[in-house]
Structure 1
Amino acid sequence: MNLGLTDKVVLITGAAGHAGSIGETMLQALADEGAIPAIIDRNARGFGYVENLKDRGIDAHFAQTDVTDPVQIEKSVNEIIDKYGRIDVVINNVGVNDGAGLDASYEEFMQSLKLNLVSYFLVVKHALPKLIESKGNILNIGSKVALTGQGGTSGYAAAKGGVLALTREWANDLIKHEIRVNALIIAESWTPAYDNWIKTLPNPEETLAGIRKTIPYQGRMTRPEEISDSALFLISERSGHTTGQYVFVDGGYVHLDRALLGQQEEAQSISEA
């Protein structure tokens, strides 16, 4: 589908993760749609991604950035503006469930907020003049933890709750500039980081099977490609009258009746009979 993203400068944070991560998957999808990805990430892997895109004839830029550092964020956003002269979309994709719980120090809690929430504010703050010029839009990547909690991750939960609040606040604040702001909320998604985490547990296969059973739709984890497809739709003009919305790509994890889980197992048994 042509989403009309050709030559749009899309500033995306957290897109230099491992191949198959949500950010990297969105990066490749943006390139496939003809957009110009401008990546902000701390991992030097982003240089290789950009070189690979340029080898395909696709314009892209990487600004290596520690997004917990306000000075680096401002410098990197200005670097992108200096190169392209505009910003059409911001995708705030940074997110690390860092386990900063009630036993964490003040410094650890604040670091979690800086990474997972404050970075969102600063990227938008510095990109805003160009977003106003382009009448662009903002997509914040959220997490079900903001709504369900998880236990043991106060910093991440507080940050992701703040991301949802900022989404609605900015949608109100920026409507006069015709800037749309939405959040895409994910739950259990199979990524390289998730794979690495599950392998650290005593019974990884058993644990993974249990997690899958908690997902009402098809009893499986969300694929990064499904998240990416929804993200690109939301930043495109195909979604041109959608703002202030929380869009869930989670297989019904947050909202559907848990009674469905038993029905899912019954349907699976019938299909295997």
Structure 2
Amino acid sequence: MDLHLKDKVVVISGAAGKFGSIGETILMRLVDEGAIPAIIDRNERGAVYAEEIRNKGVDAHFCQTDVTDPEQVENAMNEISKKYGRIDVVLNNVGVNDGVGLEASYEEFMNSLKLNMVSYFLIVKHALPYLKKSKGNILNIGSKVALTGQGRTSGYAASKGGVLALTREWAVDLVTYGIRSNAIIIAESWTPSYDTWIKTLPDGDKKLKSIVEKIPLENRMTSPEEIANVCLFTISDRSSHTTGQFIFVDGGYVHLDRALLTEN
């Protein structure tokens, strides 16, 4: 299916993760569709990705940016808009499950909010004039932690709850401009970061097995490719009458009856 994303300027944050991360996978799927990715990330790996993309014959731009710094975000959006003259999509993909719990300091909690939620606000705020012109759309990457809790991660949980609230607020606030706003909610997905975390546990293999067994559909983790495919469809005009939605790409992890997990 042609998603009509060719030459669409897509601002994507958090896309300079390691190969196989959710952000990197979404980025490369955008390239497959001929979209023009404008990468916002603090990791200089983004410059390498942008060069690789340009070598494939697709334009790309990288702005090395600390998304918790309002001035840096504003400068990045000005740079992108000056280069392309338009922004068609904002895809907010920043997220670090940083373990900032109730024992953390006020400063640590606020820093978690700034990274995991406030960065979304800043990017949309400075992209908004261009989204209005293009009647573009916003897609926020969320987490099941916003709905289920996890324990010992108050900052991340509060942030991702806020991201869902902002998704609905923006859908209402911007509906008169024809701007759509949606969120993708992820549960358990096998990424380099997940692999690193599992390897830090003394009983990592046992823990991984217990997690996978709790995913109803096929008892397996969601792949980054599956997440990326839903993202691309949602930002495309093939999803032109979908707004204010929380779209779960989680193998039924959040909603399906736990009875499904009972061993025979």
- What secondary structure does 2:87 align onto? coil
Aligned residues: 264
Question: What CA deviation, in whole Å up to 9, does each residue of 1:103-157 have, x standing for no partner?
Answer: 0000000000000000000000000000000000000000000000000000000
- What secondary structure does 2:200 align onto? coil
Question: What CA deviation, in whole Å up to 9, does each residue of 1:8-54 have, x standing for no partner?
Answer: 00000000000000000000000000000000001000000011011
Match of 1:190 in 2: 190
Match of 1:203 in 2: 203
Match of 2:148 in 1: 148
Match of 1:246 in 2: 246
| 1:225 positional shift | 0.2
Match of 1:45 in 2: 45
Q: Which amino acid is 1:209 matched to?
A: K
Match of 1:215 in 2: 215
Q: Which amino acid is 2:112 matched to?
A: S
Question: What CA deviation, in whole Å up to 9, does each residue of 1:60-105 have, x standing for no partner?
Answer: 0000001111111000111100100000000000000000000000
| 1:256 positional shift | 0.4
Match of 2:117 in 1: 117
How many angstroms apart in 1 are the aligned matches of 2:142 and 2:192?
18
Match of 1:225 in 2: 225
Find out whether 1:129 has 2:133 as its counterpart: no
User: Aligned Cα RMSD in Å?
Assistant: 0.6
Match of 2:256 in 1: 256
How many angstroms apart in 2 are the aligned matches of 1:109 and 1:119?
15
How many angstroms apart in 1 are the aligned matches of 2:77 and 2:152?
33
Match of 2:159 in 1: 159
- What secondary structure does 1:141 align onto? strand
| 1:232 positional shift | 0.3
How many angstroms apart in 2 are the aligned matches of 1:155 and 1:192?
22
| 1:167 positional shift | 0.4
How many angstroms apart in 2 are the aligned matches of 1:94 and 1:218?
28
How many angstroms apart in 2 are the aligned matches of 1:41 and 1:63?
7
How many angstroms apart in 2 are the aligned matches of 1:114 and 1:140?
15
- What secondary structure does 1:199 align onto? helix
Q: Which amino acid is 2:43 matched to?
A: N
| 1:2 positional shift | 1.1
Structure-1-length-normalised TM-score: 0.96
Match of 1:24 in 2: 24
Q: Which amino acid is 1:212 matched to?
A: V
Q: Which amino acid is 1:72 matched to?
A: Q
Q: Which amino acid is 2:208 matched to?
A: L
- What secondary structure does 1:58 align onto? coil
How many angstroms apart in 1 are the aligned matches of 2:209 and 2:16?
29
Structure 2 gap ranges (5+): none
Q: Which amino acid is 1:33 matched to?
A: E
How many angstroms apart in 1 are the aligned matches of 2:196 and 2:143?
19
How many angstroms apart in 2 are the aligned matches of 1:261 and 1:186?
19
How many angstroms apart in 2 are the aligned matches of 1:119 and 1:125?
10
Structure 1 gap ranges (5+): 267-273
| 1:248 positional shift | 0.1
